[in-house]
Structure 1
Amino acid sequence: MIPVDQEPTPDPLTRYVQRAANRIRAFDRRHPLVWDLHLTAFWTLAALIDAAGGWRNVARNPDAPVALVITLSLGFSLPLVWRRSHPRAALLATAPFALVNAWTGAALQAQLLQLLLVFHLALRRPLRSLWCTTLLFAAAVVLTVRHPKGSADQDIVPVLMSVVLAAAIGMTVRSRRDYTEALEDRARRLEIERDQQARLAAAAERTRIAREMHDIIGHNLSVITGLADGGRYAATKSPERAAQALDAIATTSRQAFGELRRLLDVLREEDTTSPNPALTPQPTLTDLDQLLDGVRAAGLPVHTTIHGTPAIPPGRQLTVYRVIQEALTNTLKHAGPEATATITLAYAGTGAVTVTITDTGRGGPPPDNGGRGLPGMRERTALYGGTLEAGPRVHPEQGWRVHLHLPEETPQ
């Protein structure tokens, strides 16, 4: 038995024959007439050699004129040049010579070249084109009637069997060729599909990376901006508050740098010679208090209300966390200095959660700046079949409202 980790290597002679056959096929595809002319010349020479006198060994009428025998030999062999391009026309062209061959009793063996035309007819044309093979039986009947030799079935049955065999071989080769072409076409389509899947996976991964980097960098930069604005205002009145703002900026910057480094470590190709980087899990709802503390430190008052007990998997927790993070980031950017935010979380069932984030800022239409915030929130929500609404609050209330709902998990 051949070991699993070893593949059988073809014999050197087999490889040589395969390479030679492939080269011959390639040359024949480029120059089909060359091969047709060579094969026709070979069979024409063989027919003429037989016409020199050997035909009398099997002839029913050895006294047939030599000129007629030569003409019949050429009539059977020369049409072979069209055996691949026009096999039916070539077979019909040999039919009169076959009838004359039978009528005169010459019974030339060159008539067997018609079987080669039958093979190509079955190989390249539909089955209905095989009707012209009946002309071969007509010639056999004429030979049996004009020059009988033994019983009639001894003349007709071999012709019938030969035609059927040649046609069967042609149809078999055709079926095998069609099957091979179908396999090659399927392999090409699978290769194209594989490349498309790889491109789609790469595009999805790029989108996921862009979303994560936007959530990480965008939020922390918004917090840093708020802290910097507050520190600049406090610097003239309370140096101690300015120092606290600077400390908070440093802390937030280090956190952003740490999260960004962990994300880049995931993207970096794994080096088997070095230890794996220390990676921390993605944030969950247990990290929400730390997020809110940073937002409050940046100057945005946030009030939270929680109903129920959280019982959702980490993936859904990450979605809820990122939506809250993005909503508060937008509030820091666009709501104004006097705005406040309110977060309401309601848990129900297995994996179901409803989150509403509102603020008392300026409101207004959603920003049309090609950002990734709202599209990123909708993409995360769609992963779990949820719904997301984001827009200004209903008049007379002022500000912005983001409403997220993730349904219960469906059992697999």
Structure 2
Amino acid sequence: MHIRHLSLTNFRNYGRLELDLPLGPILLHGDNAQGKTNLLEAIYYLATTRSPHADQDAQLINWIAAQSEEPIVVCRLVADVAAAAEKRQIEMRLIQEVNLSGRNGGRTFRREALVNRRKVRLMDLLGKLQVVQFLPEDMQLVTGPPGNRRRYMDITLCQIDPIYCRQLSQYNKILEQRNALLRRLAEGRGKRDVLPIFTEKLIKLGSEIFRRRAMFLANLARETHRIHYEELTEGKETVRLGYLPRLQENGGRRADELIALEQLGEWLQSHVDDADAVQARFEQALAAALPTDMVRCTTSVGPHRDDWRFWINGRNLASYGSRGQQRSAILALKLAEIHWMTKISNETPVLLLDEVVAELDEHRRALLLTYIKELHQALLTATDPGMFTKDFLRQATTMAVENGRVIPDKI
């Protein structure tokens, strides 16, 4: 899979961009704050409908256009994508309109998704362009909060598994309704006989999410271990990914809880083909947590509170790993993600690397560049092209980025 052409209108610092993208590695170079990261962000947004950098989607609209007096401002992102089976055009529109009622600061905002010029649900855009993104901030997958790791699972799985994406969306809606009912019950306003209805729906959807996440992490863990053991550390270190499904309440010492959750993850991965057993286990967990949920007015167990962790040589990587070991684990994870996506979808994803090469030592950098040269398409950003080998630069297409303009050149 690769992008043949990218068109941006009123996106970030790009007022207008029409860019043909060739196969192979593409190096975007230039000073900081010129638009390199914005270009990768646009591609990632088209693939996932999410920005890795913006708190709100309205922030993606070109600032000058957004502050104009135009009644309607449209930010358009369009990509012509070539896949194995077909060629397709995907598009996202971010639309800001003047609100005559004066509410919301006098402006409204909405999003539209299109495939081959026909409007579709945002969910139906997922998978039309598959990407793997590698950012320096990805170190947060090791050291950051559980929400970062859940988000990584959801974004990656939704690009490949539309059933998972639909189930996740439905689960979140039911979860919100159940929590609202718990709050009403605490205030003496709700009907207790409605709670089992929401709980039953939550069990059915949540157990499927548990199973699909367990399968995903088991497959990803095997490939991550292989790359890390064989190619990054030459057999000196082992890395392991452990699934920590929230199939029980918080309780006890943190270390004991991690052991219990990891054991639940191992049980879940051994029962991925037994939907009834997973449903029964989730049902038991919700029943046990109900008294606590009634007091706290929230659902305390379920996949919305899942986590997963890295272990290096049997120890928690976040607590005991060096910075170099953490970088190696994330690099192995991202390379494993490419392998997993390719195997499941029979499509090689587009790789997006934002200033990552500068963060790696010579050995890790050489391994990454070797992988890049084998992909159909990879886009890299760098302020200093001199960190790349002459051999890599000969094979790559280089483009200078300056103040929202992209100019093909040759280094």
Task: Select the structure that is richer in helix.
Answer: 1
**Larger strand fraction of residues:** 2
TM-score (norm 1): 0.20
Higher relative contact order (CA 8 A, sep 6+): 2
**Higher Cα radius of gyration:** 1
> TM-score, with normalisation over the residues of structure 2?
0.20
